[in-house]
Copies of this chain bind each other. A is one copy, B any other.
Amino acid sequence: MALRAALRGKSGLAGLLSCSSHGRLCPSSSSISQRNNSSSAKLIVDHDQTTGVAVMHMQSPPVNSLSLDFLTEICITLEKLEMDKGCRGLIITSNQPKVFSAGLDILEMYGKSPERCGEFWKAVQEMWLKLYGSNMVTIAAINGSSPAGGCLMSMTCDYRIMADNPRYSIGLNETMLGIVAPFWFKETMVNTVGHRNTEMSLELGLLYKPAEALKIGLVDQLVPEDQVLSAATQTMTKWLAIPEHARQITKSMMRKPTIEKLCSNREADIQNFVSFITKESIQKSLRMYMEMLKQKKA
């Protein structure tokens, strides 16, 4: 049933891997001010020093595509927050309507030099490493669709709260675009929903409606759309009440094997991505996909 529903849902998917039509030239100017806020073109960080919770709002129009610049900005912000002892919890959410993040920016993979592709992939790895290995409590406040890289980002968090809106969907749907999710995407998903759900998800490139995602454990909680952030804040309070040191060591114990596997294979993973993505057949798939997206908009 879930399979059929998910396949049905696919016809209506908007993003997937996304294609941002604007440039990638915004400076990475994020900085955590002393006054609890930092802002840049694409990332608003509200850091409440009293509670120790930072909320990172993604606002890279139109759909928070993860371009190299945006990823770099996210990584710099994550590193600052991680090193800030006053920040113990991180909530990730979106300021763009209807979408959490549409995933990796397709423009970074199309018509680019191998060097550039490699640089991009390294940034994707970096974001995953920083999030999956974070000592902070991390909660994804998924207030819109969250395909591909957006789903990966969500899965790195300690807890996932999604808007209960059947128009939204979440999943690692790379296969639908002819792209293969790498082993660390796969392992993050296996650690979240188990082997069989991951196998079917990845083979079919499934996107799940919120109710289906809850059922297989891809998200932990559904709330009305306007309560996503407040629910995340409430849950954060409970997580921050847990003895911190023990929680951090425990988290590390659970995730270390997966993290170490990427750490000891980063370069090979990059080479693997670059040689795959620069293939003529894959480039052709991406071009067709982008044209399909353009026609949808028109």
Contact = CB atoms under 8 A, between A and B. Distances in A.
Interface residues of A, number: 49
Contact of A178 (B179, B193, B243): B243
Interface in A223-267: 235, 238-239, 242-243, 245-247, 249-251, 253-255
Interface in A157-211: 158-159, 174-181, 183, 186, 190-196, 198-200, 202-205
A221 B1 contact: yes
A217 interface: yes
Contacts of A4: 238
A242 B7 CA distance: 10
A220 interface: yes
Nearest to A179: B246
A131 B204 CA distance: 19
A265 to B, nearest CB: 14
A175 B250 CA distance: 8
Contact of A205 (B174, B202, B242): B242
- The number of times this chain is found in the oligomer is 3
A137 B220 CA distance: 31
A285 interface: yes
B177 A243 contact: yes
Given A175-B250, A181-B250, 5 more contacts: A3-B221, A175-B243, A177-B243, A178-B243, A203-B247
Given A175-B243, A177-B243, A250 B202 contact: yes
A3 B238 CA distance: 10
Nearest to A172: B250
A245 B175 CA distance: 9
A154 to B, nearest CB: 13
A178 B285 contact: no
Given A176-B242, A242-B176, A186 B249 contact: no
Nearest to A245: B178
